[in-house]
Amino acid sequence: MKKWQCIVCGFEYDEAAGMPDEGIEPGTKWDDVPDDWTCPDCGAPKADFEMMEVD
């Protein structure tokens, strides 16, 4: 399970947690997140997220 971070605002998508509010189930891999999904905080596109180092 990895985390991906928005390069604009720092929002983190955690594959383990998913985003159930947005219909993205816990455990959804980043590759399986829809391509038209955007950062819920600032609107940056999925392509502008970077993989984070896992703590």
d(CA 14, CA 19): 8
44 belongs to the binding site for other proteins (CB under 8 A): yes
Choice between 7 and 16, CB closer to other proteins:
7
- Which burial class, exposed, middle or buried, applies to 30 when counting CB atoms under 10 A from its CB (0-12, 13-18, 19+)? middle
Q: How far is the CB of 29 from other proteins (least distance, A)?
A: 22
Among 23, 27, 34, 45, binds other proteins (CB under 8 A): 45
- Residue 23 binding other proteins, by CB under 8 A: no
